[in-house]
Chains A and B, each alone.
Chain A
Amino acid sequence: MRKSILMGLCALLFAFSGIAQNTTVTGKVVDEKGVPVAGASVLERGTKNGTNTKNDGSFSLQVKSGATLVISGVGFESRQLAASSGNLMIQLTPDVKSLNEVVVTGFGSQIKKEVTGNIARVKGKDIEFMPTPSVDAALQGKAAGVYVNSQSGKLGQAVSVRVRGSSSISAGSEPLYVVDGVPITTGSQSSYGGATNPLVDLNPNDIESIEVLKDASAGAIFGSRAANGVVLITTKKGKGGKTNVSLNVQTGNAQSSRRVPFLNSEQYAELLLEGAKYIDDFYGTPYTDPFSETVYVKDWMDYFSYGQWTTDPKKTYEWQDVAFQKGQYRQVDLQLSGGNDKTKFFISGQYLDQGGIIIGNNLERMTARMNIDHKANDWLTIGLTTNFARSLNKRLPDDNAFSNPLQSVALMPMTPNIIPAGQPGAGLPAGTPPGDPNIPMYYNPQISIDYGRFSAESFRNFSTGYANIKLLPGLTFQSEFGMDIMSQQEEGYFQSQTVRNQTRAVRGVGSNRAVFITNYNTNNYLNYTKSIGKSDINATLGMQYQQSRNSSNFVEGLDFPSDSYQRIASAATISGGSSSQTDFRFLSYFLRTNYKYADKYLVSLSGRIDGSSRFGANNRYGFFPAISAGWILSNEKFLSNFTPLSFLKFRASYGIVGNAEIGNFPQLALFTGGAGYAGIGGQEPSQIGNPDLKWETTRQFDIGFDFGFLNNRITGEIDYYNKQTEDLLLRTNIPSTTGFNSVVRNLGSLQNSGIEFVLNTQNLVGDLKWTTSLNVAFNRNRVTNISGQIIEGGIARLPNRAMEGQPLGVFWGVEYAGVNPANGDAQFFRNLKNADGSIDRSILSNSQFNQAQRVALGDPNPDVIAGVTNNFSYKGFDLSFQFNGVFGNQVSVYGMGQYSMANMIYEDNQTADQMNRWRKPGDITNVPQARYYFGNGNQPSSRFIVDGSFVRLRTINFGYNLPSKIVKKAKLERVRLYVSALNLLTFTNNYPLWDPEVNADSFDSNIAKGNDFYTPPQPKTILFGINVGF
């Protein structure tokens, strides 16, 4: 609206000044926030008369009267307006028409509208200042077809990322991460608790852009490493002109996104006594017999409540209060950027201190980055980026450990959190010596927090240097050398108080482990660009070599003089020690040619030859080619009159990429030396060899449209893809009578196919701006052939399984048939295939469980993932929020449910819904009768498979920019105050535990997804922040 008024005003001015021959236009170009734009071009339309804005954004230009000015700046939409005398204030809006963007493609870049492959781009700005410590987690819901599952609320732990579905069973399934040209180390280096995420060492606020290469055409340049997609991360560089300083401070706190209701003491006792009564009835034991279960469980409740239960049976202690805490969050970011024509720099620093939502969990990070680009002369440009990071993660044990704080929910509700007065150890957490160490029923995890520690401290350096040489017109040579050095030390000490859990900690146990990873990479390539008539050619030819070495050592000590001495120097017994080293190397050559004819027809050919130390001697090198083509229909005459359409491109690609994440040395027959006995070293066979072993091969076809309507106010993409993966690296089962359980073979195939849809709209322009971006992806994953192999992962007895005709990792177990109303027995479907192919759906009783056939019970892979982001701005206010959704997947709660959702088979406290158990003939319920220590429905069955769909208000951010008048008085450029939140709201389909965005770290593998095992939920974080520019 304002724009048109301005235009009208300009037109009026033009009318008055129309008589003048020449006129001098002066003005100032600023961005949407009022910050001057330096180096923007101001051009008189239709002429070569023009100038660039100065550092303060000002310009002055003599133009013919009546001329129109064209103002354009990198990253902004170009603008036209009538030249007029006086001081113009020209505001540029950022270029959100993504089609004009330049995207990074790996060993080069390309204008997005000319790209024929499928590349999703996420701008650094879109993930700025989010309270997720790693960039992968921040990608959630931002890119179509990229499924991010944060898995656990523990800080700094591994995040699962799947680009267009899982394309491997036994090999790695995470994408390749390349930071400024260097494939970085992303594998967990954790030796305690769950897997960690080395991407935490990269400050997300240093990122300029993230490109996800999704199809084979985009990925082929990364050959044997691209089958899971490639994430190219480009860090920020200096922009010339005035030195910009930006300071951002944010603080707040995080809490569990949900609490799960558990039984109170009265309910607990009722259920436990009911179960004991059943057993006593079964054996005919009188309830008052001293050896009856009834007497036994009463004694137990008394014993584990420090004798309180008999006197006060209603007193209930909430153990979730012990496990959860309010985590404090503090973060400071400082960024400086500037330079001149020849030299540009960017410097940044960050301090982050993030408290976990679980007691004892904390992450602290400091990063510093410096980037310099220097144009030495007209043929040589050089640059260097270096980044140092230090992170200190106070870690938690894995989910399947009694010391996992969230496992305290299993403790009896009548057990006090603190030892009551009058007892030995009064005032200490329950179970702390000198109190009775066997109370509570299981180990009290709080003791490990109070009397133990385990931290991982990591020092990381990413550095890249490059030289770009213009050899001939159109021909450049780029040489890059990069490294990623990671040094991590894990240090733990558990005092004698923790001995019930750390059984070696009789007089303290300390451990120290160091990992040192050196990862060097060099890229050397020639780039040639040439235009001949209507033809444009761009070709890249080069090589890449990478070598990585992982060395580690470990020492553990026992028998410390006292708990005051916590370093192994003081240990009387060195109980463990080792050192190890492993290497991998890649040598690759690549070629890519892009051809464009008449701005309409696009063809791209690319290929890579990869050699790796991981492949068998008989298959050392692989070739990975791809071809793609595009047709920009909107540039054709027959569509040029169709005005609503501003852009339309059709594209298609086909290619072959590989997966080399098969570990080091999978091809060799091996003996392992770790088989000592009683102090003498020993060896034993550990692996059967396969000299034919090679990469997994994925053939991918992609077809899509890019479109823009209404002057690109509506843009979007639609893609269909089909990924066929074969020669899977399968850990195929062999009879364990051979002495081995499996061998690795290239065997089997699976497929992913799907549709992706992206839509970006500018709903409102003018004072009140509203933009929406939506992405939706459907993926269908099927294992097509694994030659009858049984490959399982996850939780024993209700495992995730790879099965032909099923999605990868389906839950495999018996189908639950509810409760027999007559006797309270759990029942199961037989599901036996009859001779005629039909399924026997007869119902089996609890004791016939062994006869029930196992079937696929659910799929941990979502059918649909979606994200939608809305941005509003009005004057100084801005509001943005993002929802993301995951639909059609199941979660197995069996891991925890077999104890805590199993009608009190053991003494574990139960979720409140277990009160609905069967009690008397005729009761209609889904919860079987309580039978103490008699399996009745705790067996692995679909009773424990639940819907994992959810919709989450992932981020919301509301900000206010102080008026520039006030800001200027304080000699500042800008001041923005904001409040933001992460995971503020979550909507589930009656998910019974904390959070359906889950995967238990103890069981995590490629196929073991969607298991909940006392897994901490995602944090709900609320922050207040201030951003100051000067």
Chain B
Amino acid sequence: MKNKFFTISLVAALMLSITACEKRLDIVPLQSLPPEQGLKTESDLGGMLIGSYNGLQSTSSYGGDIQLMADLWANRAYLRFRGTFANLLEIAGITTVSNVILKDNASAASLWSNAYRTINTCNLVLANLNLVTSSAAKKDRIEAEALFIRGSLYFELARLYGKAWGDGDNSTNLAVPLILTPTPSEVSGLKDENYPARATVAAVYGRAIADLQRAATLLPSTNLHYATKAAAWGQLSRIALMQGDYATARDMANNAITDFEGRGIGLQANFRDLFYNYINFGGVAPREYVFYMRVTTQDGTNGLNTYYGQTIGSIPGTAGRGDLDVQTAWVNRHSATDVRRSFFLVTNRRLTQKHVDRFGHVPVIRLAEMYLTRAEANFRLGTTVGATPAADVKRIRDRVALPEIPAASLTLSNILLERDLELAFEGHYLHDRKRLREPMPGSSFTNGPAWNSPRLVMPIPQREMDVNKNLVQNEGY
């Protein structure tokens, strides 16, 4: 009797416990959210826009690599790579005669994948603008910031993975795939268009210009450390320079300068104060920065610091691998009194002081560049939009204790040398050589590769080639 009772009650208890557990299998994650929960409101969309900045800030994008490539590539005569990252060694080691970038170069792969990850986030923002209900102005701003980031990335991708503008036919030369809509959230949604072919150089430049033009229209003049009108104009002036469209380059640079001067902002008085943002200024960015990637102690990494910087015992807050050794040949390009000539630290390397601050911001566009672009374009076109070339060059030279070059004796090469020295190690060198059709620097013993050498174009990443049959590899890989 007793046993029977136990049998029945225990089996009943067992069954009860089963049904009680059934529902417990439905649990949802807490750190990450399904899209239907993560993108419901205007503030969710704002968070997604911040996510695009986070992507742009990656050390694979404007957090470092995009700028690093331009100064490292085939620049052995001026900047020697002393590190052990084979991916960077290959890029640095390009000469006319030996060494190639391998197809699976990690920098080529991460720069590409990070850019598209960020572009997808931008596309998701752009596809969900209807979530912004508070004001039309806010909706415009969010749209414009997403377009600014997307346009900037397409421009950088086009000039790294495609042939230079004007090197052959822009309408047949291949750049990178153009992705303008968000990727479906579930695997069943992946279709042929998610396996895209490369668009032409002309198409990608065109898209970048369209994105940035609309961004320039919609963006505000001041926007904390986010994209502004001036930032969009700055990018448009760069694109125009690459295209040899000096009138546009001049006008866009002039727009940015006018905007800044209208708010009482000119060049930083002291060249040194453009850098050491955290060590000397607690993270306050110089007003001269038109656009930069903000680094704080908690967020963001200064990827340029990683390679250009080094720990200097006497300057707390410095860090870095000390991989990049500025060569004497570069120093010798400066005049004796040039402040920038001594803006180096000599350890077992010669380091530029621009990137030794561990938590320094990563400059992308500085006002000085706008002056130099306006000066060059005005000079070439024989115009004086905004100011005379001599006046613009004087601003730059005054700050670094160099004498004025009178308008009468100012030459194009004066302006271009000034540009090289002022913007050194900030991501211009390679692209300036390409647009100026100049070879990369040689030493007294050897020549550098020509501006249109296939060795100065990134390989389409091996993993992309492997997974997407619609892609065509670049020449020489």
Contact = CB atoms under 8 A, between A and B. Distances in A.
A81 interface: no
A664 interface: yes
Given A522-B17, A735-B194, A682 B100 contact: no
B32 A665 contact: yes
Interface string A876-894: 0000000000000000000
Contacts of B90: 935
Interface string A643-680: 00000000000000000000011001111111111111
A684 B51 contact: yes
Contact of B299 (A613, A665, A668, A676): A676
Interface in B363-390: none
Nearest to A300: B348
Q: Which of A612, A675, A850 has the most CB of B within 10 A?
A: A675
A745 interface: yes
A681 interface: yes
A436 B313 contact: yes
Nearest to A680: B50
B181 to A, nearest CB: 11
B99 interface: yes
A545 B7 contact: no
B171 interface: no
Contacts of B100: 847, 849-850
Contacts of B57: 677-678
B296 A675 contact: no
Nearest to A799: B104
A678 B225 contact: yes
Contact of B55 (A472, A675, A740): A675
Interface stretch (A510-518, A573-581, A865-873): A573-581
A683 B47 contact: yes
Interface stretch (B229-237, B244-252, B396-404, B463-471): B463-471
B145 to A, nearest CB: 11
A524 B186 CA distance: 39
A324 interface: no
A111 interface: no
Interface stretch (A130-138, A235-243, A687-695): A687-695
A303 B82 CA distance: 15
A685 B120 contact: yes
A738 interface: yes
Interface in B22-69: 22, 24-27, 29-35, 38-39, 44, 47-55, 57
Interface string A737-772: 111110101000000000000000000000000000
A685 B121 contact: yes
Given A434-B313, A471-B3, A739-B116, A677 B54 contact: yes
A934 interface: yes
Contact of B102 (A379, A434, A849): A849
B225 A582 contact: no
Given A669-B186, A688-B183, A847-B100, A676 B29 contact: no
B324 to A, nearest CB: 14
Interface string A432-470: 011011110000000000000000000000000000010
B21 interface: yes
Contact of A664 (B29, B117, B186): B29
B175 interface: no
Contacts of A613: 24-27
A353 B153 CA distance: 55
B7 A475 contact: yes
A150 B184 CA distance: 43
Contact residues of A: prevailing secondary structure: mixed
B186 A678 contact: no
Interface in B75-99: 84, 86, 89-90, 93, 98-99
B330 to A, nearest CB: 12
Contacts of A582: 29-31
Interface in A575-602: 575-576, 580-585, 587, 589
A526 interface: yes
Contact of A683 (B51, B182, B443, B466): B51
Interface in A684-729: 684-691
B136 interface: no
Interface string A270-294: 0000000000001111000001000
B131 to A, nearest CB: 13
B50 A677 contact: yes
Interface stretch (B314-322, B410-418, B430-438): B314-322
B281 interface: no
B299 A438 contact: no
Contact of A677 (B32, B300, B464): B300
B347 interface: yes
A933 B116 contact: no
A613 B23 CA distance: 10
A444 to B, nearest CB: 13
A676 B54 contact: yes
A506 B297 CA distance: 12
Contact of B467 (A284, A683, A688, A734): A734
Contacts of B427: none
Contacts of A682: 47-54
Contacts of B3: 379, 471-472
B111 to A, nearest CB: 11
B34 A689 contact: yes
A732 to B, nearest CB: 9
B296 A899 contact: no
B312 to A, nearest CB: 8
A439 B468 CA distance: 46
Q: Which of A477, A583, A683, A740 has the most CB of B within 10 A?
A: A683
A797 B53 CA distance: 30
Contacts of A504: 297, 319, 358
Nearest to B92: A933
Nearest to A502: B319
A796 interface: yes
A259 to B, nearest CB: 24
A469 B6 contact: yes
B119 interface: yes
Contacts of A681: 47, 50
Contact of A585 (B24, B118, B124): B24
B228 to A, nearest CB: 15
A826 to B, nearest CB: 13
Contacts of B17: 522, 524, 543, 545
A790 interface: yes
Q: Which of A524, A576, A678, A939 has the most CB of B within 10 A?
A: A678
A173 B221 CA distance: 56
A935 B99 contact: yes
A580 B24 contact: no
Interface of A: 282-285, 291, 300, 303-304, 379, 433-434, 436-439, 469, 471-472, 475, 477, 479, 496, 499-500, 503-504, 506-507, 522, 524, 526, 542-543, 545, 547, 558, 573, 575-576, 580-585, 587, 589, 611-613, 620, 664-665, 668-691, 733-741, 743, 745, 790, 796-797, 847, 849-850, 898-899, 906, 908, 933-935, 938-939
Q: Top 4 closest A-B pairs, CB basis? A: A739-B120, A682-B50, A684-B51, A503-B319
16 contacts: A284-B446, A438-B347, A479-B10, A503-B358, A665-B29, A669-B35, A677-B300, A678-B300, A685-B183, A690-B188, A735-B195, A738-B179, A738-B183, A847-B99, A935-B86, A935-B89
Given A679-B299, A934-B98, 13 more contacts: A291-B327, A438-B348, A545-B24, A589-B18, A613-B27, A685-B124, A687-B32, A690-B186, A690-B188, A735-B468, A736-B112, A738-B116, A847-B98
Interface of B: 3, 6-7, 10-11, 13-14, 17-18, 21-22, 24-27, 29-35, 38-39, 44, 47-55, 57, 84, 86, 89-90, 93, 98-100, 102-104, 106, 112-113, 116-121, 124, 177, 179, 182-188, 190, 194-196, 225, 294, 296-300, 310-311, 313, 316-317, 319-320, 322, 327-328, 347-348, 358, 443, 445-446, 461, 463-464, 466-468, 477
